[in-house]
Amino acid sequence: MGRVSLIEPAVGMYAFAMFMIYPLLQQYVYRRLWFELSGTIYPAESLSHCSNNHSYVTIHQAVQKETSLFLLKSELCFLVPSLISALLLVSYSDYCGRKVAIVPPLVALQGGMSIFILYELNTPLCWSEVFVGYGSALSTAIYLVSFAGVALLSRCVPDAYIILLGLMSVAAGLIMAAFAKSTLLMFLVRLPLLLSIMPTPVLRSMMSKIVSGSEQGAMFACIAFVEMLSVGVSFTMFSSIYASTLSWFSGFSFLLAAGLTVIPASLICVILCLRLDVYEESMIVTQESMEDHTEIFEIPP
């Protein structure tokens, strides 16, 4: 009789709940800070305060800055326990099984809260909670399409090209978001982002192929640590940049993020040119084959 596993459903429910809470959290903080800074309740009709009136523009900028800084501090508080748990539990999974590596999401919040919602709440979009909900719902399609894209493209396209395609998707979506000044255009931003999640699983797959089976836990521990550290650093940097550039161009953070995709794309091109991925994978296969033969022909004492 097979065992009933409870860890995977628990993690799935946790991830679903966190995905639902993130947009609500940002809107709640936004409305609380609006009341504290302006002394008035956040208007029920979003367009009623979305005007070129100087007082409304000033309030918007102040609330945007304070919300960005508050979310930054919250993310840093979640980051520290995530880093510790990732290093300990994922590396320990080499000895006690892989399922323990799923526990870190249950002991700390992971992942960065995007500045997309702050951008959507700001002028000239001034999205209501209904539009924010629609936008968040459409964002789930990014994960589904990226998953389908990896499943289909991995059959006929090398991994490195899938990563490059995903990076192009990220850059195109961010550039489009930087200049989105209407509700329709902001909704359409999700289209070029549909393949933006593909690089993450493909990169993990590539790295797992060049590491022996006994070192998989340690490798994924390093990956989880670096990912969460980069999330904390990037969220700190982009929250500060967004707050600083809000008064003259609120989309600057998106353009900067799009420009930074050139760095991993260049590294992937180097790997393709030198064929490092094929060389490392063949070395690991040869090494494991030699170890298996050694164990078979080893004479017991």
Coil vs helix vs strand at 158: coil
User: Which residues, 6 or more positions from 228, have their beta carbon under 8 angstroms from its beta carbon?
Assistant: 79, 82, 83, 86, 110
C-alpha Rg value of the chain to the nearest Å = 23
107's tokens = 């002991």
Residue 104, pLDDT score: 46
Pairwise CA distance, residues 47 & 183, whole Å: 12
- pLDDT at 4 exceeding the cut of 80: no
pTM strictly above 0.85? no
244's tokens = 């600083």
- Compute the Cα dihedral for 260, 143, 67, 254 and give only its sign: positive
213's tokens = 């089976």
| Residue 90 main-chain phi, psi, to 5 deg | -70, -40
* Number of compact structural domains in the chain: 1
Cα dist. 216→83, 203, 221, 284 in Å? 18, 14, 9, 12
pLDDT-based confidence at 78, cuts 50/70/90? Answer: confident
Coil vs helix vs strand at 2: coil
- pLDDT at 224 exceeding the cut of 60: yes
Range of the domain at 31: 7-297
User: Which residues, 6 or more positions from 117, have their beta carbon under 8 angstroms from its beta carbon?
Assistant: 23, 26, 27, 132, 135, 136
pLDDT tens per residue, range 35-64: 998 888 887 665 555 666 667 778 888 888
Q: Are 143 and 233 in contact (CB under 8 A)?
A: no
- Identify the helix (H) or strand (E) that includes residue 98: none
Please give the mean pLDDT across all residues of the chain: 77
Residue 108, pLDDT score: 40
- pLDDT at 12 exceeding the cut of 80: no
CATH code where residue 244 lies: 1.20.1250
Pairwise CA distance, residues 24 & 112, whole Å: 15
Q: Are 255 and 180 in contact (CB under 8 A)?
A: no
pLDDT tens per residue, range 234-260: 888 888 888 888 888 989 999 999 999
Judge whether 93 lies within some domain. Answer: yes
pLDDT tens per residue, range 120-145: 888 888 888 889 889 888 888 888 89
- Identify the helix (H) or strand (E) that includes residue 131: helix 129-153
Judge whether 2 lies within some domain. Answer: no
Judge whether 1 lies within some domain. Answer: no
